Amino acid sequence: MSRIGKKPVAVPSGVTANVEGQTVKVKGPKGALQVVLHDDVTVSLDKNVIKVAPRFETKRSRSLYGTSRTLVSNLVAGVTKGFEEKLEITGVGYRAAVQGKQLNLQLGFSHDVNYPIPTGITIATPKPTEIVVTGIDKQQVGQVAAEIRGYRPPEPYKGKGVKYAGEYIFRKEGKKK
C-alpha cells in the first residue's frame, strides 16, 4: 500500500472542493482547478477531507492511488499558495526581459528568442539574469520552466546557459595540450 496515498488531503477554510465521479474540482482565493482521476481509483469527500483509495487490489490501482492523491494535493496547494520556479541565466551577454505578453531572451544566438507567456502563468525578471515563473497549476509551471531552460541548457565546460535555481551543473575539464 502507498504511504502517500493513505494520507487524506485536508481542504483548508476558504477553499471549496467538489467531487463528481472521477472529477475533483477545487476553488480557492487564487483560482479554480480540476483534475480527472483514473478509473482504478475511488475519490470521496467527507466534510473537509478528500480521501483517495484503490478501487481494486491490483498492482496498477495500488500504484495509481498515490499519484492520484498527490494530484489532488497539488490542486489544493495551487489554489491556496500557488507554485513558483526560479531560473538563473549564466553567460556573458545572456539576459532576459519581460515585454508585454512575451519573454525576450538573449542567449548568445544571432537572434533574440521570444517566448509567448501562456495564460495562467506570470513571469517576472527581478534581475536580467533571473527568471521567476509563477502560477497555480504545478504541471504548467514546471512545463513553462522546462521550455525556457530548453532554449539553452547549461553546458558542462563553462556552465553557460539557463538552469534551475539550485541545480548542480557537472563540470568537465577542457582539453589539454
Spell out the per-residue pLDDT of the chain, length 177, in tens.
Answer: 568 888 899 999 889 999 998 899 999 999 999 999 999 999 988 888 999 989 888 888 888 888 999 999 999 999 999 999 999 999 999 999 999 999 999 999 999 999 999 999 999 999 999 999 999 999 999 999 999 999 999 999 999 999 999 999 999 998 888
Cα distances (Å, whole numbers) of residue 9 to 53, 86, 135: 12, 27, 21
Q: Are 60 and 67 in contact (CB under 8 A)?
A: no
CATH of 83-164, one of 3.90.930.12, 3.20.20.100, 3.40.718.10, 3.30.720.110: 3.90.930.12
CA distance 113 to 34: 33
**3-class SS of residue 12:** coil
Sheet with 41-46: strands ordered across = 9-10, 49-54, 41-46
Nearest of 34, 31, 50, 32 to residue 42 by alpha carbon: 50
Residue identified by cell 495562467 is 120
CATH architecture assignment, domain 3-80: Alpha-Beta Complex (3.90)
- Check the CA dihedral 48-2-36-164 and report its sign: positive
Cell of 106: 538573449
Domain limits, CATH 3.90.930.12, in the chain: 3-80, 83-164
